[in-house]
Amino acid sequence: MSERSDGSPVEEGARGPVRERFVTGADGVRLSVAEYGEGPGDAARPTVVLLHGYPDSKEVWSRVVPLLADRFHVVLYDVRGHGRSQAPAPLKGGFTLDRLTADFLAVADAVSPDRPVHLVGHDWGSVQGWEFVTVPQTRGRIASFTSVSGPSLDHFGHWIRERVRRPTARHLAQVLSQGAKSWYIYALHTPVLPELAWRGPLGKRWPAMMARAEKLPRGDYPTASLPRDAAHGAWLYRDNVRQRLSHPRPDPRPHVPVQLVTPTGDPFLSVPLYADLERWVPDLTRRTLPVKHWVPRTRPDQLAGWVTEFVSRTDRESGRDGERGSDPAPTGSSKVPSVLGKGRAEAVERFGGQLVLVTGAASGIGRATALAFAEAGARVVAVDRDGEGAARTVELARRAGAPEAWPETVDVSDARAMEELAIRTSADRGVPDVVVNNAGIGLAGSFLDTSPADWKEVLDVNLWGVIHGCRLFGRQMVERGQGGHIVNTASAAAFQPSRALPAYSTSKAAVLMLSECLRAELAPHGIGVSAICPGFVATPITASARHTGVDAAEQQRRRDRSAKLYKLRNYPPEKVARAIVHAVQRDLAVVPVTPEAHGLRLLSRLAPGVARTLARVDPPL
C-alpha cells in the first residue's frame, strides 16, 4: 500500500510503487495523477488511463490497478473538482466537455508524450471517454477505448430522437424505461439541493447504500472526499447533459476501436440504450456481464481481463507492439468446426473472458460444451477422470478460441478431490462464472439385478458428482456475490420411468429435482440453475454403459446394439452443447433436448398413465 503525502492510503493493494504528480489542465486547474507499473517508452508496456465516474474519485479503480500494473503503465487521475484535483472557479461552466477533453490531453501528454494511450472509462469517465474519442483534437493520442456503464451523450441524444420520431410501442417503452432509470439526472439539475444532500445525510449513508446495493465488502471505498466529489460533480450533469441530449452532434463516430462493457443489471442504464451503437462504431467489441453498475468494484478480475485482451489485440493489429497483424493465440479455429454457428456473436458478447468449468469434458456432450464456450471466448476448465481426454479437449478448446484452458484430472464422485479442485480453481483462476456438472455414466438392468455396489457406483457419479459441484462452486459464487450459473446434465430418463433403467433414471430424476430446489435457493443471489434433459445423443456413453444381470458376452452384444441405435438416431452432442449455452443465456430452468425428450416430458404431464405403460417396454440402452 502506498501513502499520500498526508499519510492516507492512495490505492489499497496496488502493485509496484505509485508515482504521484500534479498536471495542469484547462484554465490552470491542477489535476492529481497517479501512475503504476513501468513508465512510458517501453513498447511492451502500453499506457492505460483509467477514468472514474460520478460520484467517485480515482480510488474506484483500486481493485483493478493491481491486475493491470504487472503488464501496463497504469495511470489514474482525479477529474477536476474530485479527489485531490482542484475545482474550477466558478463551478458553473467549469465542467464542460471541452474543458474535460483539454484536461485529458494534458494528462496524456504528461504521462505518455510519444505514444497514444488506451482509455478505460466508467460511468461519467466513460461519458467523457466517448467525447474524447469522437473529437478531432485527440486523434493520434488515444489507441483504444473501453466504455463501462456510461453512454455517449451524442449517441444518447440520437437514440431518444429516433424513438420519439418513430414512436412504435417498443420504442416508447424503451424511452419510458430509460427515462425512469434517469430520475437522478433530473434531481441533479435542481439547484443547491443535491449539494446539501451530499454534504449531509446522503453523503453519510452512501457507502452503506452502495455496499448493500452492489453487494460490496465495506472497506476504505468510497473515500472521505465523497461528499465534496459528489457536490462538485453535479456540475458534470448541469454543464452538459441537457444541452447535448437536445442537440447531439451530427456524426459522433469514434476514431479508435471501442470495447463496450454492458452490465445487464445496471439500475441507471438500460441495455437497449446501446442497441444502435454499431451505426456509430464500426469497430465495436461487445461484452456483457450480469451485474449492477459498479463493475470496477464488483468484477475487477473480469474487467482487467477484458482490458488486457483488448489493449493487446488493438496494439497487435495496429503494429504498435511490432508484430502487426500477427495472431499469437494458437487458435487455428478453422480446424475446429464451429459448435455455435449463428449463435456465436451473442455467445461471445455474453461469455467472452468468463471462466467456465465443465465436468465430463473429455468426451461427448461435455467436450462439445467445453468447445462451445471456448468458441465464445470463455476461459475453460475441462474436468474429467480421463486426464488424456481432458488434455485433448483443452488443446481443441484453445484452437476453438479459448484465451486460456486447463485440464483437470478429477473423479467427480470423490468429495475430497472435488474440494481440492474448487480450492485450486478459485485460487489460480478465480470463481467460475458457469459450472456445468455433466460427468455421468450409464447403467442398465432391472432393479432386482442391480446390486448395492451398482447403485453406489451410479449414484456416486451421476448424483454425488453433481451435488459436490453444486455445493462447492455454488458456495463460491454466493460468497463472491456477483451471480453465476450452474448447469446440471440430467436426462429425458428423469421424466420417464423405465423397468430397464431404475438406477440411472433415479439418479437423473434426483438431479432434476436437485436443480429445481437449488434454483429456488440461489435465485436471490443472482445465480441461475438449469437442468438439461437430452434424449438419445450419439456419444461414446453406449460403449461404457454397464448392463447388469448378464454375462460379458451379452453385455457386449447389448452395448453394440445400443451403439448402433444411437448412431442411427444420430443426434450430435454439439446440439446439446448449444442448448446448454442457450440455457445459460436465457436462464432456463429445465431444458429438454431432442424431440423424444420434449415428447416424454409432455407425456409425463398430460398422460402419465401412458408413460407408465411405456415403462414396461425395454428401451434400446
The answer for residues whose C-beta is within 8 angstroms of residue 122's C-beta and 6 or more apart is: 50, 51, 52, 53, 56, 60, 148, 149, 150, 294, 295, 296
457 binds ligand NAI (CB under 6 A): no
Residue number with CB closer to ligand NAI (32 or 530): 530
70 binds ligand NAI (CB under 6 A): no
Could you give the string, one character per residue 552-591, with x where binding to ligand NAI holds by CB under 6 A and - elsewhere?
---------------------x------------------
User: Which 8-state DSSP code applies to residue 117?
Assistant: E
Stretch that binds ligand NAI, among 166-174, 237-245, 332-340, 532-540 (CB under 6 A): 532-540
489 is a contact residue toward ligand NAI (CB under 6 A): yes
Least separation in angstroms between CB 387 and ligand NAI: 10
Any idea of the CA torsion for 125, 127, 128, 130, to the nearest 10 degrees?
120
Using the minimum distance from each CB to ligand NAI, give the nearer residue, 97 or 412: 412
Find the shortest distance in angstroms from Cβ 566 to ligand NAI.
6
Contact between 401 and 370 under an 8 Å Cβ cutoff? The reply is no
360 makes contact with ligand NAI (CB under 6 A): yes
Q: What is the dihedral of CA 135, 262, 435, 399, to 10 degrees?
A: -30
In 3D space, the residue among 257, 259, 254, 305 whose CA is nearest the CA of residue 286 turns out to be 259
SS3 assignment for 281-292: CCCEEEEEECCC
Query: Three cell numbers at 570?
Result: 444420430
Task: Name 200's Cβ contacts closer than 8 Å, sequence gap at least 6.
Answer: none
Q: Any contact of residue 439 with ligand NAI (CB under 6 A)?
A: yes
How do beta strands 30-36 and 19-24 pair?
Answer: antiparallel
Nearest distance in Å: CB 103, ligand NAI: 56
Interface with ligand NAI, residue 491, by CB under 6 A: yes
Contact 72, 143 (CB under 8 A): no
Which of 326, 544, 556, 613 contacts ligand NAI by CB under 6 A?
A: 544
Q: Rounded distance, CA 324 to CA 420, Å? A: 42
Cell numbers standing for residue 272: 437497449
Instruction: Indicate the residue among 195 and 408 with the shorter CB distance to ligand NAI.
Output: 408
Residue with cell 453535479: 234
If the CB atoms of residues 142 and 512 are measured against ligand NAI, the closer one turns out to be 512
Report the nearest approach of ligand NAI to the CB of residue 410 (Å): 6
77: annotated active-site residue: no
Name which of 197 and 545 has its Cβ closer to ligand NAI: 545
| Bridge partners for 148 per DSSP | 122, 261
Nearest approach in angstroms of CB 599 to ligand NAI is 14
365 binds ligand NAI (CB under 6 A): yes
Q: Which of residues 101, 534, 562, 578 is near ligand NAI by CB under 6 A? A: 534
163 in Cβ contact with 323 (< 8 Å):
no
Nearest to 272, CA basis, from 395, 156, 129 = 156
- Selected from 69, 412, 500, 512, the binder of ligand NAI by CB under 6 A is 412
Give whichever of 16 and 540 is closer to ligand NAI, judged by the CB atom. Answer: 540
Out of 35, 384, 408, 574, which residue is the one contacting ligand NAI (CB under 6 A)?
384
Nearest distance, CB of residue 225 and ligand NAI, angstroms: 52
Q: Could you tell me which stretch among 217-225, 325-333, 383-391, 469-477 binds ligand NAI (CB under 6 A)?
A: 383-391
- Strand-pairing partners, residue 143, are none
Does 441 bind ligand NAI (CB under 6 A)? Our answer is yes
Quick one: 121 or 407, whose CB is closer to ligand NAI?
A: 407
Question: In the set 395, 404, 411, 449, which binds ligand NAI (CB under 6 A)?
Answer: 411
Q: Is residue 413 part of the contact set for ligand NAI (CB under 6 A)?
A: yes
CB 65 within 8 A of CB 221: no
Residue 459 interacts with ligand NAI (CB under 6 A): yes or no: no
Residues in the chain: 621
Find the binder of ligand NAI among 295, 463, 487, 537 (CB under 6 A).
537
Reference 374, options 333, 411, 342, 346; nearest CA is 333
**Of 54, 504, 566, 571, which is the active-site residue?**
504
Give dist(CA 438, CA 440) in Å, integer.
6
Nearer to ligand NAI by C-beta: 359 or 482?
359
Nearer to ligand NAI, 314 or 505 (CB): 505
- Judged by CB under 6 A, which of 125, 305, 366, 526 binds ligand NAI? 366
Count of positions on this chain that bind ligand NAI (CB under 6 A): 30
Alpha helices in 360-386 (DSSP H): 364-375
Cα separations (Å) of 158 from 135, 164, 245, 282, 487? 17, 10, 8, 17, 40
Q: Is 385 in the site for ligand NAI (CB under 6 A)?
A: yes
- Three-state secondary structure of 452-463: HHHHHHHHHHHH
Residues 232-261 that bind ligand NAI (CB under 6 A): none
Question: Exposed (0-12), middle (13-18) or buried (19+): which is 257, by Cβ within 10 Å?
Answer: buried
- Report if residue 101 touches ligand NAI, rule: CB under 6 A: no
> Which span sits near ligand NAI by CB under 6 A: 33-41, 287-295, 311-319, 407-415?
407-415
Nearer to ligand NAI, 360 or 445 (CB): 360
Give the whole-angstrom CA distance, residue 519 versus residue 387.
31
End-to-end CA distance of the chain, in Å?
Answer: 62
CB of 532 to ligand NAI, least distance (A): 8
* Piece of the chain touching ligand NAI by CB under 6 A; list 211-219, 289-297, 318-326, 361-369: 361-369
Name the residue nearer to ligand NAI (CB basis): 356 or 362. 362
Find the binder of ligand NAI among 37, 53, 121, 364 (CB under 6 A): 364
Give the whole-angstrom CA distance, residue 292 versus residue 412. 33
Q: Nearest approach, Cβ of 411 to ligand NAI (angstroms)?
A: 4
Query: Residue 163 is inside which H or E element, if any?
Result: helix 153-165
Closest Cα partner for 89 from 98, 100, 80, 79?
A: 80
Residue 58 has φ and ψ, to the nearest 5°, of -65, -15
Under the binding rule (CB under 6 A), the answer on residue 20 touching ligand NAI is no
Q: Does residue 104 belong to the site contacting ligand NAI (CB under 6 A)?
A: no
Closer residue to ligand NAI, CB minimum distance, 409 or 426: 409
Q: Point out which residues bind ligand NAI (CB under 6 A).
A: 359-360, 362-366, 384-386, 389, 411-413, 438-441, 461, 465, 489, 491, 534, 536-537, 539-541, 544, 573
Q: Which residues are catalytic?
A: 504
